[in-house]
């Protein structure tokens, strides 16, 4: 059972379990997602874990982690609706399994503190050499995402669908903004994060409340009362459906469809929407998989996903360009079929069983346990996994149909080959 402690400047969450021989610590820093700061924030995740004053290079930091029985340190960036999240993550062997007692927990907490309070700073700026190297790595990462046509096409869908909205802001930043960020700018932004970000820290492993004293001693942040918004329902006043077609030198076309759905993580209909999405395109037993892929052989892959923090639904499919209109038609037909009330009790029960199994499996992975807890913590949703599963199992056929009837097509982005000539 998760226990929560209000520490100085952050909330500490202990998730005790005897399933793992490792301990996992995840510090998550939340701030509003803005066009002006998204690139700065992403670059910070690269520079933040590169070095400290005591460990002044990537090599010495790696050696330190090796000396701590192969401890791991990583960081990443993500979004939750209107917020952008920096995640600093470390995992290491639980000391009870070591042949001799070593203070690994204390060492890792001190390391996290040093990343923020004792980084490698010269003249009130991050080390220029490290910043230059991390800029290069970020550019390479953004280029890789662009070359990955699945990721690229999904990003373009969000860009068109979320034009002038937080949905349209890139969660990983913009290549054109990177060079203008100075080492001093980046250090000043770190200080701003330390002061203003909403912070939650999670510990998963065989832990008890005795470790709270260690956190009190070794990790503190400035007090702040910031409570940033995350989950919201995307809404557009556009009268017409946006249809964008982009041609590149590719063989497999990428079809991406965005829908307004009128519900999000905090809505009473959240559970019904979760079940609907699973029936529609969330599993290999789903409608889209069976009809579009198996029965009509129209796609290499097809699925739907419910983004509960942006309040939208997405359909992704890999198809031949000649099947564009047919694929759109079949996807629309399956949506309308459920909206008309054509649902078998058996498919509802099978889908609920699949969802229940998937949710129970999250208890086998520390990262998944943290992710689920974090979703609830930043939205102040008081709910256990067992309670969540029960609400899923209690969803009625009528509720699924009702939530499906609120779904409206908003945007289509089709990335296709240069031979595509419109209707085929």
Q: What is the CATH number of the domain that holds 364?
A: 3.30.830.10
Residue carrying structure tokens 């793992």: 20
Q: How far apart are CA 225 and CA 223, in angstroms?
A: 7
Q: How far apart are CA 194 and CA 208, in angstroms?
A: 27
In a domain, 373, yes or no: yes
377 and 262 within one domain: yes
Average pLDDT for 259-283: 97
The residue among 183, 218, 253 that closes a domain is 218
**What pTM was computed for the model?**
0.93
- Residues contacting 346, CB < 8 A, separation 6+: none
Q: How confident is the model at residue 423 (pLDDT cuts 50, 70, 90)?
A: low
Q: Which two tokens stand for residue 146?
A: 């662009």
In a domain, 231, yes or no: no
310 and 168 within one domain: no
In a domain, 163, yes or no: yes
Whether 304 contacts 274, CB under 8 Å: no
Average pLDDT, the chain: 95
317 and 379 within one domain: yes
pLDDT of residue 424: 46
132 and 65 within one domain: yes
57 and 204 within one domain: yes
pLDDT of residue 294: 85
Q: How many CB atoms lie within 10 A of CB 350?
A: 15
pLDDT of residue 298: 83
247 and 346 within one domain: yes
In a domain, 100, yes or no: yes
Q: Could you read off the pLDDT of 33-82 as tens digits, one per residue?
A: 999 999 999 999 999 999 999 999 999 999 999 999 999 999 999 999 99
In a domain, 234, yes or no: no
Signed CA dihedral, 4, 220, 68, 87: sign only: positive
- Domain assignment of residue 341, given as a range: 242-417
Whether 299 contacts 402, CB under 8 Å: no
48 and 150 within one domain: yes
The count of domains in the chain is 2
106 and 50 within one domain: yes
pLDDT of residue 96: 82
Residue carrying structure tokens 């949905």: 167
In a domain, 123, yes or no: yes
In a domain, 393, yes or no: yes
Q: Could you read off the pLDDT of 145-192 as tens digits, one per residue?
A: 999 999 999 999 999 999 989 999 999 999 999 999 999 999 999 999
175 and 140 within one domain: yes
261 and 189 within one domain: no
pLDDT of residue 297: 84
72 and 133 within one domain: yes
Average pLDDT for 383-400: 96
Q: Could you read off the pLDDT of 300-332 as tens digits, one per residue?
A: 999 999 999 999 999 999 999 999 999 999 999
In a domain, 306, yes or no: yes
89 and 188 within one domain: yes
Query: Which percentage of the chain shows pLDDT scores above 90?
Result: 90
Tell me which residue of 78, 359, 25, 374 sits closest to 205, measured CA to CA.
25
The residue among 153, 186, 218 that closes a domain is 218
Q: Could you read off the pLDDT of 71-118 as tens digits, one per residue?
A: 999 999 999 999 999 999 999 999 888 877 778 999 999 999 999 999
């Amino acid at each position: 059972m998760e226990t929560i402690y209000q520490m100085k400047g952050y909330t500490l969450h202990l998730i005790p379990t005897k399933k793992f021989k490792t301990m996992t610590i995840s510090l998550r820093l939340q701030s509003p997602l803005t066009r002006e700061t998204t690139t700065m924030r992403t670059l910070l995740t690269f520079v933040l874990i590169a070095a400290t004053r005591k460990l002044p290079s990537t090599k010495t930091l790696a050696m330190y982690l090796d000396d701590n029985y192969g401890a791991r340190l990583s960081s990443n960036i993500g979004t939750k609706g209107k917020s952008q999240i920096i995640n600093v993550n470390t995992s290491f062997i639980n000391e009870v399994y070591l042949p001799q007692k070593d203070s690994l927990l204390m060492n890792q907490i001190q390391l996290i503190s040093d990343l923020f309070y004792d980084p490698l700073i010269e003249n009130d700026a991050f080390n220029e050499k490290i910043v230059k190297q991390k800029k290069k790595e970020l550019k390479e990462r953004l280029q890789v995402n662009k070359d990955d046509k699945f990721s690229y096409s999904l990003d373009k869908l969000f860009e068109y669908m979320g034009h002038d909205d937080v949905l349209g802001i890139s969660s990983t930043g913009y290549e054109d903004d990177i060079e203008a960020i100075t080492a001093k700018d980046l250090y000043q932004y770190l200080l701003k994060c330390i002061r203003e970000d909403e912070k939650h820290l999670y510990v998963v492993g065989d832990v008890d409340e005795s470790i709270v004293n260690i956190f009190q001693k070794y990790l503190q942040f400035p007090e702040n009362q910031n409570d940033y918004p995350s989950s919201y329902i995307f809404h557009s006043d556009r009268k017409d459906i946006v249809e964008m077609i982009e041609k590149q030198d590719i063989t497999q076309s990428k079809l991406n469809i965005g829908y307004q759905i009128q519900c999000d993580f905090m809505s009473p209909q959240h559970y019904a929407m979760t079940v609907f999405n699973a029936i529609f395109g969330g599993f290999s037993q789903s409608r889209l998989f069976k009809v579009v892929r198996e029965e009509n052989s129209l796609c290499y892959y097809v699925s739907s996903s419910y983004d509960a923090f942006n309040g939208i639904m997405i359909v992704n499919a890999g198809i031949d360009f000649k099947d564009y209109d047919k694929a759109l038609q079949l996807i629309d037909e399956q949506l309308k079929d459920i909206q008309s009330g054509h649902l078998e009790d058996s498919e509802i029960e099978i889908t609920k069983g699949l969802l229940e199994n998937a949710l129970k499996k999250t208890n086998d992975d520390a990262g998944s346990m943290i992710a689920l807890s974090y979703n609830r913590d930043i939205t102040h949703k008081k709910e256990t996994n067992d309670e969540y599963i029960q609400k899923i199992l209690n969803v009625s056929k009528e509720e699924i149909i009702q939530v499906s009837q609120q779904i409206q097509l908003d945007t289509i982005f089709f990335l296709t080959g240069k031979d595509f000539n419109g209707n085929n």
